[in-house]
Amino acid sequence: MAKLTIEVAYGTAQKQKLYRLQLDEPCTARQAAIAAQVCTDFPETQPETAPLGIFGKIVPDEQLLRDGDRVEIYRPLLADPKEARRKRVAQQK
């Protein structure tokens, strides 16, 4: 069985971490996110349900990985980016 070398990335404003894994092929983005055991460093993370991306592009859970891919686990937005920008602009005036 072939092996894939991939990375799983997760971070907060205070801390970022990159997990390097070797997984059996075929492997999906969701399987890699769960295999990285991100919860040991970030207990608030939910790799079973969080949105995922590969190199900055959102992908479905069943997206098959290729050797060298970087899976990113995204955090939920706490504020609407457009609304946050409006507030910053209003404060500057």
50 and 34 in contact (C-beta within 8 Å)? no
Predicted TM-score (pTM) of the model is 0.78
Write down how long the chain is.
93
What pLDDT shows up at residue 75? 87
| β partners of residue 23 | 4
Give per-residue pLDDT as tens, 35-63: 999 999 999 899 999 999 999 999 999 99
Q: Topology of domain 3-92, per CATH?
A: Ubiquitin-like (UB roll) (3.10.20)
Q: Put residue 41 in one of left, alpha, beta given phi > 0 → left and psi -120 to 50 → alpha.
A: alpha
Give per-residue pLDDT as tens, 12-24: 888 999 999 999 9
What pLDDT shows up at residue 3? 92
